[in-house]
Amino acid sequence: MCENSSILSMLLLIKNLLDLITIFIPIILIMYTVIDLVRNQIDVNKKYLTVIGKRFFFAVLIFLVPTIVSLIVNNLDEENKYLSCYKEATNENIKYYRAKEEAEKKKEEELKNIEQEKALVKRKQIENTRNVLSEQNKNKESDKNNSSSPNINAGNTCIYFQGDYASHSYNSSCGSIASCGCGTTSAAVILCTMLKDTSYEPIRVTREVCKMGGCTSGGSSMNVLIKYLNSKGLKTDAHDTHYSLGHFSHAKAKTDIYNALRNNNMILFHITRHFFVLSGLENDKIKIVQVGNKTQTQKTYTYEELKSMVENMMKNGRHREIQGYVVVSR
């Protein structure tokens, strides 16, 4: 309490008033008595002496008011809290404590501003997180509304065809998924089937592969497709002449493909400027999901028949050929 500038200011005012009272009222009483004597308004008699005595008594009493107040406070205030406050009430102390209070107030305001800034940053972070989650939910909802559900065959293989996504962009330099999305559509088939998760469909997979830099003007990059499949927890073993991966030969390819499919693995199959999926075996023939051709998907093939089918496919007036494959396993 004794360090509060407002309380000290009030006590100083009281102290100053008491000082004025103890000085001026006795002086006024004395002057009033002197004036009476000078004017001879009161006879010098016993009655006048009594009046003078009363005036001097009250003058002395008023003069001793501070002393009397101090004695009373001392008796009532054993720890001298109030008396010390009364003594502390000086202009110097008031200036000191007022400056101290202003410094503390400024510090509190700075701390408050810091807390407000922290709260603002936190609110912005929460708002940004909400916006990101909202955008992600919108993307998921958009994908859900715009994509077609996979046709899951008797072998529990998800089947997608890139031609069903003609209205969905692949990238700025290569048109739509229908035009350039054979690689991402094939990856969607593999992920949907092997992870048993139908959220992996061509629109989502294309968006995610493109973010990884896998969408080029010529279609999907095998190297990025492999990284993408690996990022989803799948193992890959690649052999491709175009991308200079592993060692490719038709004899090795036939052996690797049959062994992989017998072990319930899948094959990302690469031919000239095209990808599709080898999904399993049926009566020792290879089942495929030819993402660019629904008719070819309905058939099964020996390796030799598959090779012949590929070589009879034309691209820009040229026959295609098998360039490689990626064994995808869990």
Task: Tell me, yes or no, whether 115 lies in a domain.
Answer: no
Find the largest Cα–Cα distance for the chain.
154
Tell me, yes or no, whether 76 and 151 share the same domain: no
Tell me, yes or no, whether 157 and 33 share the same domain: no
CATH number where 323 lies:
3.90.70.10
Task: Tell me, yes or no, whether 95 lies in a domain.
Answer: no
Note down the domain range covering 60.
Answer: 5-89
> Which of 71, 89, 107 represents a domain boundary (last residue)?
89
**15 within 8 A of 85, measured Cβ to Cβ:** no
Tell me, yes or no, whether 263 and 191 share the same domain: yes
pLDDT of res. 45: 56
Residue written as token pair 């990626």: 326
- What residues form DSSP beta bridges with 159? 151
pTM above 0.75, yes or no: no
Residue 292 has what DSSP assignment? T
**186 within 8 A of 276, measured Cβ to Cβ:** yes
Helices and strands (H and E) in the chain: how many: 12, 12
281-240-256-156 Cα dihedral, nearest 10 degrees: -30
pLDDT of res. 241: 93
Tell me, yes or no, whether 159 and 41 share the same domain: no
Token reading at 200 = 């992996």
Q: What does the DSSP assignment read for 149-187?
A: PPEE-TT--EE--GGGGTTSB--TTS-BHHHH-HHHHHH
Proportion of the chain in helix, strand, coil states, percent, rounded to 5? 60, 15, 25
- What residues form DSSP beta bridges with 240? 245, 324
Domain count, the chain: 2
Task: Tell me, yes or no, whether 34 lies in a domain.
Answer: yes
Tell me, yes or no, whether 209 and 284 share the same domain: yes
The bridge status of strand 322-329 relative to strand 151-152 is: unpaired
Dist CA 236 CA 327 (whole Å)? 5
pLDDT of res. 76: 61
Residue 148 has what DSSP assignment? P
pLDDT of res. 46: 58
Task: Tell me, yes or no, whether 12 lies in a domain.
Answer: yes
**329 within 8 A of 229, measured Cβ to Cβ:** no
Half-sphere exposure of 312 (CA within 13 A, CB side): 7
Dist CA 182 CA 288 (whole Å)? 14
Amino acid 201 reads E
Tell me, yes or no, whether 75 and 154 share the same domain: no
Q: Which residues contact 119 (CB under 8 A, 6 or more apart)?
A: none
Q: What is the CA radius of gyration of the chain?
A: 50
As averages over each run of 10 residues, the pLDDT of the chain (330 residues) reads 77 80 76 70 59 73 71 61 69 82 88 90 87 72 56 73 92 88 96 93 94 90 96 95 93 96 95 94 94 92 95 80 95
